[in-house]
Every structure is written in C-alpha cells, then in structure tokens.
C-alpha cells in the first residue's frame, strides 16, 4: 500500500461480515431457499466472498450450496486488443448450470464490463434459468445496463478514486479502502 | 604514364626491403626504387615526370595477388561478371587474381580460357589468370587438355568446388600437370564423408540440427594428395585449408621436404562455427567455418609458414542464392573487398609481421603460379598496392563493386585499407 | 511476470520463468477443452496462419484446434518443399503472408532454422512447429506439462530419451527444456544416432538402452524414421528393434512408477512394444496429445499482442 496515496477505510472486518450475512439471507429470501441455487465467484476477489457466502448459506440451510470459480479474462472486451496478456487463472465449475439460478459474486461493481464478460462465460457453460448478481461494493459509474441484485454497500465515488477490497485470504486483512489517485 | 611515389614505407619481401623509399614507374614497369630518386629525378628532368604522389604514412607493397577467386562469367553473370569481379579486385587492393574454372561452361577448353582473358582485357583493371579444370566439366572422369589450356593461358589446374574423388585421376593430373609446370590446386573434400553436410560437425551442428561436415572430410583428402605428391615426386597446392588436422599434415609434409603448398582464407582465421547460430546464410561456406581450435591452428600454420598463401575464395552470389533456408543456400563469401583488412588483423594480433603478410598475399602466390609478379624489383611490372594501415572504415555491402553482396562482415569495423591500386603503371583504383 | 517474447523459435531461448508461465497458462486452458462449448471469444478477429512445409496431421490439427477454440481465424497453407526449392522462396512467401496481415504464423519446415529466417523477415509472431532436426518447442512444452501433471514436478526427475537423437528435434527441445527445469536427462541410442558433442548439452549418453533406463522416472521413446536406413545409421529394423525397443523386460530397470512417452506416431514393435504403448498404467501418450492443444492455446494467447 503506497504511502503517497490518500487512503480512507470505509468498511472494517465486522462491517464486511455483517454485509455478507445480510446478503446470504437476502439471497435465500429472494430465491425461497437454496433449491436450484449455485454460487459462482469471479476471480479473484469474488471467489473469497463467494466462499464466505457459501459457508454462511450452508450454515443457515444445513446443506452445502455448490460453488464455482470463474476467470473472465478470456471474455474481456479489451483482451483482443491488449498488448500484454494478463495471467490466466483457472476456471472451475464442476456442475451443470442448466436450469440453475446462478448467483455471481464479485467484490466491486464498477463499469459492469467484468459482469458482462462473466455472463457470456456462464452461458458457454450451459443455460441457467436466471443469473443474479451479488457484490460487496457498488461504486457506480456503470458503462453497461447492469445492476446488482444484492449489494453490501453503495459507495458513491469519484473516478479519480480507487476502491480496494482487502480480504484476509488475499491481503491478510479485511477492509474496504478508498484511495485517492495521486 | 610516369609516376613517382614518395614518402611511403616500402615493403617487398622478395627483395627483403622494408624501409622508406621512393619508387618511380615508367612505361608500365618499375623503373627505379631507392631513397634518393625524387631529388635526382627532379633536378635532372622534372618535365619527364607526369605525376608525383606523396604517400607519407602509407605502405607500398608489390601488387596483391588473390590466387583463388570465382568470377562466375561465363554462365552466372547475375552473381558476378569478369568486369565487376576485377573492379572488386582493385578496390580490395588486388592487382592480379586467378579465377577458378567452375563457370558455365566450365573452363575446361581453350575457347573458354580465351573468352575469360578477352573479357578481362576489355575490363582492363586487374590482371586475370584463368585456372583450367582438371577434368572435363569438372566431373572427375576424364582429364582436360592441359597442354592446349596452358597455351591458351591458364596458370594452374583445379576442379575447385568439385573435389577429385578418384585418386587415380588425381595422380594422373598431378603427374601430367607437373611436367607442364602447371600447379594442381586441390579442393580437399571427401564427398562421401561430407555428403549432405551444411556446417562444421561439432557441438554447434548438433544444437542447430544442421548436418555436419567433419574435419576428416578435408583431412583425408589432404593426406591422400600429399601421399600422391610424395610418391610421384610432384607438387600439390592445397586450397582453402580450414582444419587443425590439415595444418598438421601439411606441416609434416613440408618437414619431409615435399613440394606441398597451401592457402587459407580470411574467414577461417576470423570466424568460427559459433557464428552460425543465427542461421545467417552469409556464414555458409565450403569448407565450413570450423571450431575455435581449428582457427588457432590456422593462425599457427600461417605464423610458421605451413600455410603459404592467403586467398579469399571470393565466391559472389545473387540474393536468390542466399536469401533462402540455410539448407538450400549457396556456399561462399564475396571476399575481395574485405580480404586485406581482415588479413591485416593478423598483424594487429601479432600472428604475422608486415613482410610475412605481404609474402602470403603477393610474393608466394606469384611464386606458386609461376607469375612474373609479386616484387617491386626494378624492371618488374608496375603492379603496386598502396595501403593506409590506420584507415578506419566500416564494411558496407552497398558499396561493394562486386555483384556479390554476400558477406558476413557487413557492418564490421576495420582498420587498414588499400587506397591506391596501380596495375601496369596505371592507377586502377584511387580510394584516397 | 509479463511475456515479452515476439516469437517462440526454440526452448533454448526461453527462461525458466517463461516456461513456467507457459505451462501455468496452459493448465488454465485445459478446462476449456472439457466444456460443452469448447470455445472462448478471446482471439476474435485474430488470424493465425499454419504454414506447413512438411506433412504433419497431428501438429497442424492441434494448432488449428487451439486457434479455433480461442475464436481466431485459422488458415492452413501446405507448401511442398520441392516447389520452394525451384521457385518461390521462403522470403517471397513471407512477404506475401505479411501483406495479408496475420497475427501469428505457425511454421513447420524440414530445413533447420527456417522459422528463424521467417522471424527475421516479418513483424508477426512466429511459432516454430518443428524445424528440421533443430527444435520442436511446442512438443517439449506439452511433454513437460504431461510430466509435471503426472509427477507433480520436473526438477530432480531422471528422464531417459531413447532412439535417433541425431535427427530428432523433439530430443533437442526436451534436452533444453527438461535440463532447465532441473531434470536429469540421459540419452541412449546406437552410436550412429548420437550427434557429435551432444554430451556438451549437459546430458549423459549411453549406447545401450538398459544403461539409460536404470531408475528412470520418465522414458521418452523417439520415432525411428524408416528412410534413415539408407544412410546406414542402422542396419535393419529387425536389429534395431531387438536392441532398442522398450519392452516388458527392460522397462523393469526403470522406477516402478515410470511413465512412457512418445511424440507419435508410433512404430509399434519397433521402438516400443504394443503392450507398453497401450498400458494405461505407464503410457501417457494420449495425455500428451490432449496437453498439446492447451499448450498451443497458451502460446497463441501469450503471443497475440494487439495494436501498439
């Protein structure tokens, strides 16, 4: 974390956990239980959040909800033109998506382009009955007609700010930070 | 035309001269050589002198002779013509060149020899001495008419490019040629051993996946030809020596008093097979660039006079011959315009001194080919090369007078260059 | 790390980090070939030319599938070497292809170094799909990927490569690759098939297969080219197969969990006995084919830089 950036913590460990608990209940409420429900986390931040949601939902329902991992790199709309290719992560969806309600999980919803790529990818795996979207942070600035079904926190931000979600699994700490680009 | 050259250091190994002197050329001959010519000439009859050239800082040597070139005409004029070849020769400091018979048709008959001489006379730059083929069409089957060819003007015999595989034919050629004072120049290569090979066989051929030409392909034939020379009491000249083994065989033969002479080319003491790693076809020559040890042995052979001559094996090619896959590319380097500078490195690295180098590039080839050249003695032909030993320059293929722009030395920094080439008393190249 | 190479001409030019990146990327691509819809849109609008001067169904198909699964347009050009010698040179072909503005040119050629010449002439990325007896980098990468999957590592393994080393580009690429990755490579073949100074590549060399097989973790058998018999590098197939064929008895010298590889196509009964080639407990030959597509997808993905 660079020192010359102006950073502000906007959500701490407990805040994140409370958000995820609420989202878990909202998912179950909206879908009337976990019948036909699967979670798919978008690499990388979304995967850890999806794992936490999986645990919360499984605890509530006393049954394990299936979890898939999706790397959307190959579906990005800037990939063909990009000069150097980003490192690929593994995609792992070990179950059929046909007629399932898929809850996509990501950390931050911003332009919507990642979600567009994720939806294209999901459809290559099968024909889900419905795709829903759960995000920890919605920071606005959409460039595509996409909205989230489950939102941890709306965080209006300016374009010269960056929103970063740190998670224990990734950075050793749970917090959401706004950084001002210097 | 009368010319007085003053101020230069004159090196003539034939006369054991290495000092500052003047040299006076008259009617195509060297009229006088000495320390006090300029004064005496000026005081006596200055109107007789057409031109005085001050060559302070320069080195004057007997005109350089390259005894191994390929002029490609007749038959392959897109690679080189006799006219472009002699233009390259004088630009490289050569006043005389001997050209190999592998044109199309092969120089295995009087009319081809006469054609070459006529074309050379028309070009009127460097002297051209044709070398006749040993066998008809250089096919290694039937001897050519040595006597007739000699009368037409050849100075030596060779099937260069196509080794004489038949030992009996080689024996006959050496016997018959020797009786006519025609030296036989042998391209030593056992084609069964080298067959299909593209580069020196060793570590680099292994990692590059290019089939190898073993050193023994050359050495086996060097040994054979030495044995024939010994048995028949004749002589042999070994062309383009490239391996340590050949150097040892020739050294040993000379020790035993046999009439064996040998030449090598600048690329064999400048480059090794390591350079082939880029698959640049400009490095493809036959015999191939060898190993570091071979390069060292070649230099030792030059230093101890095992190798008598430096000849560049000038092998010009067209773009279509070289801009192809390594496997299909033609062998050879366009060498006349880089040979002297590359050879001067032997002085810089102390392998040879000046008189030794000039002997290998003028005196010795003249002696081997029985040419009345290679000396600055009064009365000799006024063939003179003037070298600026300190001139720094960069090889640029685009400035080559040769049609063959195939050189691995493009872009190389050089020191030393021929700046004035005089043939028969006339200035044929002035690069000052 | 970023992948900075313009071309993949040989394993010799790749660093350990680059090899690891290619292998990891390839592992991510394995999954796509298991999907119902085996296609991702990544290289939409990119053009890949497969320029094959040498017949090769396997490698060409593998590159073609790799390109198609990434949504690139793949075009196959089969040129015969004989026409090349006569008329159109590789340089002419290169300039023509360049004018068509492809993104990647995959080249297979019987002349060693042909991909290097092509790479020096055109701005596009070149992938060497096998050149003469020089290198076959994608084969070595898929071999390394197969070994890594089966053994969990490459470092420290003993790999025996058996057969006609002299004429094998697969052997050279694998010697470079496996040695870089820390494996201990040994070679065996008749002395006539071992190129000069090969041990300087850092390998041990034996003339008997048994000496190389001892304690081997991996055995890689090379294909015998029948037409080489003319060059007298082996007297007869009968004699060769009696002394250099991998069979039930000599494989016992290797480790118990040895895996057997072959770049294909196999001469059954010549370099490898049929029961070994088909034994799923040790033969990973079909696995190699499967990895081939993933490795080639990874290379196409890493090499296709866009507009600059």
User: By C-alpha distance, which of B364, B114, B123, B121 is closest to B132?
Assistant: B114
Q: Are B427 and B421 in contact (CB under 8 A)?
A: yes
Contact (CB<8Å) C195/B279 = no
pLDDT in single tens digits along all 308 residues of chain C: 678 889 999 999 999 999 999 999 999 999 888 888 899 999 999 999 999 998 888 899 999 999 999 999 999 988 765 555 555 678 888 888 888 899 999 999 999 999 999 998 899 999 999 999 999 999 999 999 999 999 999 999 999 999 999 999 999 999 999 999 999 999 999 999 999 999 999 999 999 999 999 999 999 999 998 777 778 888 888 999 999 999 999 999 999 999 999 998 899 899 999 999 999 999 999 899 889 999 999 999 999 853 32
What one-character-per-residue DSSP string does C126-193 give? EEEEEETTTB-HHHHHHHHHHHHHHHS--TT-EEEEES--TT-HHHHHHHHHHHHTT-EEEEE--GGG
Closest-CA residue of chain C to B320 = C89
- Taking the Cβ of residue C132 and every Cβ of chain B, the question of whether any pair is shorter than 8 Å is answered with yes
Looking at chain B, which residue has its C-alpha nearest residue C165? B206
Q: CA C179, CA C182: separation in Å to the nearest integer?
A: 5
Burial of C307: CB neighbours in 10 Å, binned 0-12, 13-18, 19+: exposed
B217 touches chain C (CB under 8 A): no
| Subunit contact A124:C40, Cβ cutoff 8 A | yes
Distance from CA of A119 to the nearest CA of C (A): 13
DSSP string for residues in B203-214: HHHHHHT--EE-
Tell me which of A76-80, B153-157, B183-187 is least confident: A76-80
Instruction: Write the CB contacts of B121 (distance below 8 Å, at least 6 apart in sequence).
Output: none
Contact B221, B186 (CB under 8 A): yes
How far is residue A120's CA from residue A99's CA, in Å, rounded to a whole number? Answer: 16
Flag whether residue B212 sits within 8 Å of chain C, measured between CB atoms: yes
Smallest Cβ distance to A84: which of C46, C70, C305?
A: C305
Chain C interface test: which of B206, B274, B278, B283 (most C C-beta within 10 Å) = B206
Please say if the pLDDT value at position B40 is more than 80. Answer: no
Query: What angle, 0 to 180 degrees and rounded to 10, lies between the N-to-C axes of helices C57-69 and C137-151?
Result: 80
Task: Tell me which chain C residues have a C-beta less than 8 angstroms from the C-beta of B324.
Answer: 89-91
Q: What are phi and psi of B405, to 5 degrees?
A: -100, 25
User: What pLDDT, on a 0 to 100 scale, did the predictor assign at position B35?
Assistant: 87
* The token pair that represents B193 in the structure block: 């051993």
Chain B, nearest residue to C136 by Cα: B209
B313 labelled catalytic: yes
Q: Do A87 and C24 touch (CB under 8 A)?
A: yes
Give pLDDT tens digits for B386-405. Answer: 999 999 999 999 999 999 99
Asked if the model's pLDDT at residue B85 lies above 90, the reply is yes
Q: How close is the nearest chain C Cα to the Cα of A121, in Å?
A: 8
List the beta strands (DSSP E) in C29-157. Answer: 47-52, 73-78, 104-109, 125-131
Number of Cβ within 10 Å of residue B348's Cβ equals 11
Per-residue DSSP letter, C110: S
Put simply, the answer to whether A75 touches C41 (Cβ < 8 Å) is yes
What is the arithmetic mean of pLDDT over B361-386? 97
Among A74, A83, A87, select the one facing C305 at the smallest CB separation.
A83
What is the predicted pLDDT for the residue at B41?
66
Distance from CA of C27 to the nearest CA of A (A): 8
CATH class of B2-60+380-430: mainly beta
**Which residue in A has a C-alpha nearest to residue C25's C-alpha?**
A88
Give the up-direction half-sphere exposure of residue A143: CA atoms within 13 A in the CB hemisphere. 9
Cis peptide before A145, with omega less than 30 degrees from 0?
Answer: no
**Burial degree of C120 (CB within 10 A; 0-12, 13-18, 19+):** middle
Q: Decide: B17 and B10 in contact? Cβ < 8 Å.
A: yes
Q: pLDDT tens-digit profile of A19-65? A: 999 999 999 999 999 899 999 999 988 999 999 999 999 999 999 99
pLDDT at C83: 52
**Which chain A residues are Cβ-neighbours of C40 within 8 angstroms?**
74-75, 121, 124
A153 DSSP β-pair partners? A137
Contacts for B152 with CB less than 8 Å, ≥ 6 apart:
B110, B113, B114, B117
Q: Which residues of A touch C (CB under 8 A)?
A: 71, 73-75, 79-85, 87-92, 120-121, 124-126
Contacts of C36 in chain A (CB under 8 A): 125-126
By percentage, how much of chain B surpasses pLDDT 90? 94
Return the SS3 of B381: strand
Token representation of residue B40: 């005496």
| Residue appearing with tokens 């290019």 | B210
Q: Which of C190, C186, C192 is nearest to C174 (CA)?
A: C186
pLDDT digits (tens, 9 = 90+) for A123-180: 999 899 999 999 999 999 999 999 999 999 999 888 888 899 999 998 899 999 998 8
Q: Count of CB atoms within 10 A of residue B319's CB?
A: 13
- Please tell me the number of Cα atoms within 13 Å of A82 on its side-chain side: 16
pLDDT of residue C95: 85
- Put simply, whether C227 touches B (Cβ < 8 Å) is no
Nearest Cα residue in chain B from C193: B206
Q: Using CB atoms, which residue from B210, B214, B325 is nearest to C90?
A: B325
Distance of residue A164 Cα from the nearest chain C Cα, in angstroms: 22
Residues C270 and C237 sit within 8 Å (Cβ to Cβ): yes
Select from B207, B323, B325 the Cβ nearest to the Cβ of C201.
Answer: B207
Yes or no, beta carbons of A87 and C25 under 8 Å apart: yes
Query: What is the pTM assigned to this prediction?
Result: 0.90
Architecture in CATH of B61-368? Alpha-Beta Barrel (3.20)
Non-local (6+) Cβ contacts of C122 within 8 A are C94, C95, C97, C98, C105
- Which one of A70, A78, A79, A127 would you mutate to disrupt binding with C, by most C Cβ within 10 Å of its Cβ? A79
Order of strands across the sheet that contains B22-26: B29-34, B22-26, B2-6, B51-54
B374, pLDDT greater than 80: yes
For the cut 60, the answer to whether the pLDDT of residue B45 exceeds it is: no
Question: What is the ipTM for the molecules in this complex?
Answer: 0.93
Counts of helices then strands in chain C (DSSP H, E): 11, 9
CB proximity C55 to B under 8 Å: no
The rounded distance, in Å, linking the Cα atoms of B142 and A143 is 87
What mean pLDDT is predicted for residues B152-163? 97
B208 touches chain C (CB under 8 A): yes
Q: What is the pLDDT of residue B42?
A: 61
- Pair C135, C169: CB distance under 8 Å: yes
Mean pLDDT of chain B: 96
Contact C112, C284 (CB under 8 A): no
* Per-residue model confidence as pLDDT tens digits over B202-243: 999 999 999 999 999 999 999 999 999 999 999 999 999 999
Chain C: closest CA distance from residue A124 (Å): 6
Q: Which of B108, B160, B190, B313 is catalytic?
A: B313
Instruction: Classify residue B387 as exposed, middle or buried by CB count within 10 Å of its CB (0-12, 13-18, 19+).
Output: buried
Alpha-carbon span C1 to C16, nearest angstrom: 12
Q: Which residues of B touch C12 (CB under 8 A)?
A: 207
The pLDDT value given to residue A2: 47
Closest CA to B216 of B236, B235, B237, B197: B197
Do B61-368 and B2-60+380-430 have the same topology in CATH?
no
B206 touches chain C (CB under 8 A): yes
Reported as a pLDDT band with limits 50, 70 and 90, residue A1 is very low
Note whether C21 contacts A87, CB cutoff 8 Å.
yes
Q: Does C44 touch chain A (CB under 8 A)?
A: yes
Asked if C39 lies within 8 A of A91 by C-beta distance, the reply is no
**Hey, what are A177's tokens?**
């930070």
Confidence of residue A71 (pLDDT cuts 50, 70, 90): very high
Interface of B with C in 279-308 (CB under 8 A): 279
Chains touching chain C at 3 or more Cβ pairs under 8 angstroms?
Answer: A, B
CB contact under 8 A, C111 and B208: no
B/C touch flag: 3 or more CB pairs below 8 Å: yes
Domain ranges of chain B: 2-60+380-430, 61-368
Tokens of B354: 């000046």
Which of C:81-100 have CB within 8 Å of A? none
Confidence of residue B189 (pLDDT cuts 50, 70, 90): very high
> Regarding beta strands B426-430 and C47-52, do their DSSP bridges make them parallel or antiparallel, or are they unpaired?
unpaired
C201 touching chain B per CB within 8 A: yes
Cβ of A126 within 8 Å of Cβ of C24? The answer is no
SS3 B36: coil
**Residues C201, B211: C-beta atoms closer than 8 Å:** no
| Partner B, chain C 73-102, Cβ-Cβ below 8 Å | 84-85, 89-91
């Amino acid at each position: 974390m660079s020192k010359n950036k102006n950073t502000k913590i906007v959500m701490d460990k407990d805040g994140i956990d409370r958000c995820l608990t609420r989202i878990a209940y909202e998912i179950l409420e909206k879908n009337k239980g976990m019948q036909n429900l699967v979670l798919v986390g978008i690499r990388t931040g979304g995967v850890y959040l999806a794992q936490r949601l999986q645990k919360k939902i499984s605890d509530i329902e006393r049954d394990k909800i299936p979890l898939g991992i999706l790397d959307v790199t190959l579906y990005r709309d800037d990939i063909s033109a990009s000069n150097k290719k980003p490192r690929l992560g593994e995609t792992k969806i070990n179950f059929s998506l046909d007629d399932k309600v898929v809850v996509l999980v990501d950390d931050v919803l911003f332009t919507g382009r990642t979600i567009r790529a994720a939806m294209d990818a999901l459809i290559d795996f099968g024909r889900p009955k419905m795709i829903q979207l759960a995000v920890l942070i919605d920071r606005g600035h959409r460039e595509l007609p996409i909205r989230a079904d489950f939102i941890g926190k709306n965080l209006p931000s300016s374009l010269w700010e960056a929103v970063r979600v740190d998670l224990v699994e990734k950075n050793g700490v749970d917090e959401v930070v706004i950084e001002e680009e210097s | 035309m009368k010319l007085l050259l003053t101020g230069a250091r004159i090196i003539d190994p034939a006369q054991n001269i290495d000092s500052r002197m003047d040299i006076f050329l008259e009617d195509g001959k060297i009229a006088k050589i000495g320390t006090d010519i300029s004064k005496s000439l000026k005081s006596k009859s200055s109107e007789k002198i057409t031109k005085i050239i001050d060559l302070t800082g320069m080195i004057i040597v007997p005109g350089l002779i390259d005894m191994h070139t390929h002029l490609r005409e007749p038959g392959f004029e897109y690679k080189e013509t006799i006219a472009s070849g002699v233009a390259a020769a004088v630009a490289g400091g050569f006043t005389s060149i001997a050209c190999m018979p592998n044109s199309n048709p092969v120089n295995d008959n009087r009319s081809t020899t006469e054609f070459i001489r006529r074309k050379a006379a028309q070009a009127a730059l460097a002297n051209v001495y044709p070398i006749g083929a040993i066998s008809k069409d250089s096919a290694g089957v039937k001897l050519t008419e040595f006597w007739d060819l000699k009368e037409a003007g050849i100075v030596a015999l060779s099937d260069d490019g196509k080794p004489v595989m038949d030992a009996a034919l080689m024996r006959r050629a050496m016997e018959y040629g020797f009786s006519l004072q025609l030296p036989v120049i042998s391209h030593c290569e056992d084609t069964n051993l080298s067959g299909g090979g593209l580069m020196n066989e060793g570590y680099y051929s292994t990692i590059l996946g290019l089939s190898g030409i073993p050193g023994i392909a050359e050495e086996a034939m060097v040994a054979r030809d030495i044995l024939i020379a010994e048995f028949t009491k004749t002589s042999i000249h070994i062309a383009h020596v490239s391996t340590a083994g050949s150097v040892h065989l020739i050294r040993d033969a000379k020790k035993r008093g046999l009439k064996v002479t040998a030449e090598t080319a600048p690329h064999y003491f400048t480059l090794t097979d390591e350079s082939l790693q880029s698959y640049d076809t400009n490095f493809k020559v036959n015999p191939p660039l060898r190993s570091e040890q071979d390069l060292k042995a070649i230099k030792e052979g030059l230093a101890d006079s095992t190798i008598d001559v430096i000849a560049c094996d000038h092998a010009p090619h067209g773009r279509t011959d070289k801009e192809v896959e390594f496997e299909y590319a033609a062998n050879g380097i366009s060498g006349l315009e880089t040979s002297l500078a590359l050879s001067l490195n032997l002085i810089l690295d102390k392998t040879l001194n000046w008189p030794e180098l000039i002997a290998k590039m003028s005196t010795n080839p003249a002696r081997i080919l029985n040419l009345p050249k290679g000396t600055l003695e009064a009365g000799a032909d006024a063939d003179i090369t003037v070298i600026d030993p300190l001139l720094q320059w960069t090889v640029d293929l685009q400035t080559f007078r040769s049609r063959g722009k195939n050189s691995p030395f493009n872009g190389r920094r050089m020191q030393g260059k021929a700046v004035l080439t005089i043939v028969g008393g006339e200035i044929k190249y002035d690069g000052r | 790390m970023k992948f900075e190479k313009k071309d993949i001409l040989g394993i010799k030019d790749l660093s350990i980090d680059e090899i690891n990146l290619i292998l990891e990327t390839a592992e991510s691509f394995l999954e796509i070939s298991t999907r119902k819809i085996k296609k991702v849109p990544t290289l939409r609008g990119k053009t890949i030319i497969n320029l094959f001067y040498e017949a090769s169904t396997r490698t060409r198909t593998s590159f073609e599938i790799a390109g198609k699964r990434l949504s690139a347009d793949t075009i196959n050009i089969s040129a015969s070497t004989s026409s090349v010698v006569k008329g159109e040179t590789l340089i002419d072909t290169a300039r023509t292809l360049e004018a068509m503005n492809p993104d990647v040119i995959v080249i297979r050629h019987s002349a060693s170094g042909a991909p290097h010449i092509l790479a020096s002439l055109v701005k596009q990325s070149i992938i060497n799909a096998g050149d003469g007896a020089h290198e076959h980098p994608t084969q070595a990468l898929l071999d390394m990927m197969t070994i890594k999957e089966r053994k969990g590592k490459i470092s420290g393994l003993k790999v025996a490569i058996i057969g006609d080393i002299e004429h094998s580009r697969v052997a050279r690429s694998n010697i470079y690759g496996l040695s870089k990755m820390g494996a201990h490579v040994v070679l065996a073949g008749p002395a006539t098939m071992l190129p000069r100074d090969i041990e300087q590549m850092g390998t041990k060399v034996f003339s008997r297969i048994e000496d190389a097989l001892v304690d081997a973790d991996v055995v890689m058998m090379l294909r015998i080219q029948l037409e080489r018999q003319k060059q007298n590098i082996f007297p007869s197939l009968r004699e060769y197969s009696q002394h250099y064929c991998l069979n039930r008895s000599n494989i016992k010298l290797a480790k118990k969990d040895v895996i057997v590889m072959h770049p294909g196509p196999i001469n059954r009964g010549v370099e490898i006995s049929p029961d070994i080639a088909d034994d799923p407990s040790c033969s990973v030959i079909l696995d190699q084919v499967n990895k081939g597509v993933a490795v080639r997808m990874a290379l196409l993905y890493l090499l296709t830089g866009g507009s600059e």
